[in-house]
């Protein structure tokens, strides 16, 4: 497949009401909403299904199926990133929805730990923060790409420490991770939205059939990126302000 150059050009703007970039941007947020819906349903079903929960958590902790459910999403993200060009659009959608489903299962455990009120408050807070930073990322003239490597390094460090704390179970470290997570994923929201906007503008400029076809896959990957950012922002807020049952 011919590789397209989707690099941002400084003088590109949204000038057509029905431009490819506008449709691309709308598609990204539509798929993100679908992922959140799938995860919400999955989390609710798990939290209210003791039979399913027993397959994932036993008397001594997580079962083998529980560990698979927890770590499988990471493998799916790596698969999507590495094989996007080789995967068909339906296959990419299938993996994306499976990832959303499994992430919802992990969120189901959260519903069992925290009170419903604190979950609702933190979700609304995450949505407000996400919306504000998304608008800033979309409208700002400041090039945020220079912050990308720093933010991604922070995410990698956060993931590594979170995995370590998963086995250690330190409440103090969990609280610190909450502060760091809110800071990183708040900034990352603006960065990711600007990045997605610029990819859309690049699609507008290329205008080829291949670019239009690839835009569907890129929309899925963009939605995945924003979805992960939002979920992690929500979880970080719960670490700080969530009230346990």
134 within domain boundaries: yes
Residue 14's pLDDT is 37
Higher-scoring residue by pLDDT: 2, 215 = 215
* Number of domains present in the structure of the chain: 1
- Of 92-106, 167-181, 197-211, 230-244, where does mean pLDDT reach its minimum? 197-211
Expressed as residue numbers, the domain containing 127 is 20-241
pLDDT band (50, 70, 90) for residue 213: low
Residue 10 lies in a domain: no
**1: in domain:** no
Average of per-residue pLDDT across 164-190: 88
Whole-number Å distance between alpha carbons of 45 and 54:
13
Q: Distance between CA atoms of 74 and 99, rounded to whole angstroms?
A: 9
pLDDT at 5: 43
Residue 46: inside a domain? yes
What are the tens digits of pLDDT across the range 92-116?
A: 999 999 999 999 988 888 888 888 8
Q: Which tens digits make up the pLDDT trace of 71-89?
A: 888 888 888 988 888 888 8
What is residue 13's predicted lDDT score, i.e. its pLDDT?
38
User: Given pLDDT bands bounded at 50, 70 and 90, which one contains residue 47?
Assistant: confident
User: Which tokens hold the place of 171?
Assistant: 């409440």
| 83 within some domain | yes
In a domain, residue 201? The reply is yes
Q: Is residue 206 part of a domain?
A: yes
3-state secondary structure the chain: CCCCCCCCCCCCCCCCCCCHHHHHHHHHHHHHHHHHHHHHHHHHHHHCCHHHHHHHEECCEECHHHHHHHHHHHHHHHHHHHHCCCCCHHHHHHHHHHHHHHHHHHHHHHHHHECHHHHHHHHHHHHHHHHHHHHHHHHCCCCCHHHHHHHHHHHHHHHHHHHHHHHHCCHHHHHHHHHHHHHHHHHHHHHHHHHHHHHHHHHHHHCCHHHHHHHHHHHHHHHHHHHHHHHHHHHHHHHHHCCEC
8-34 pLDDT tens trace: 444 433 344 447 778 888 999 999 999
pLDDT of residue 17: 40
Asked whether residue 93 is assigned to any structural domain, the reply reads yes
Place of tokens 């995860």: 39
pTM score, two decimals? 0.84
């Amino acid at each position: 497949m011919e590789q397209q150059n989707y690099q941002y050009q400084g003088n590109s703007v949204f000038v057509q009401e029905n431009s490819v970039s506008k449709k691309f941007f709308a598609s990204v947020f539509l798929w993100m909403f679908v992922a959140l819906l799938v995860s919400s349903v999955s989390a609710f079903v798990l939290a209210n299904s003791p039979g399913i929960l027993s397959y994932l958590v036993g008397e001594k902790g997580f079962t083998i199926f529980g560990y698979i459910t927890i770590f499988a999403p990471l493998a799916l993200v790596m698969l999507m990133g590495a094989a996007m060009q080789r995967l068909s659009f339906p296959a990419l959608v299938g993996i994306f929805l499976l990832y959303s489903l499994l992430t919802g299962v992990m969120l189901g455990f959260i519903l069992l730990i925290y009170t419903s009120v604190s979950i609702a408050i933190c979700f609304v807070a995450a949505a407000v923060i996400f919306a504000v930073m998304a608008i800033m990322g979309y409208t700002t003239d400041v090039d945020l790409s220079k912050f990308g490597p720093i933010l991604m390094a922070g995410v990698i460090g956060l993931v590594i420490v979170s995995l370590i704390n998963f086995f250690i179970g330190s409440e103090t470290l969990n609280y610190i991770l909450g502060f760091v997570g809110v800071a990183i994923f708040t900034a990352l929201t603006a960065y990711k939205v600007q990045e997605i906007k610029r990819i859309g503008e690049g699609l507008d400029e290329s205008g080829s059939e291949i670019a239009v076809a690839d835009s569907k896959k890129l929309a899925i990957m963009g939605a995945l990126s924003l979805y992960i950012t939002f979920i992690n922002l929500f979880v970080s807020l719960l670490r700080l302000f969530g009230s346990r049952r």
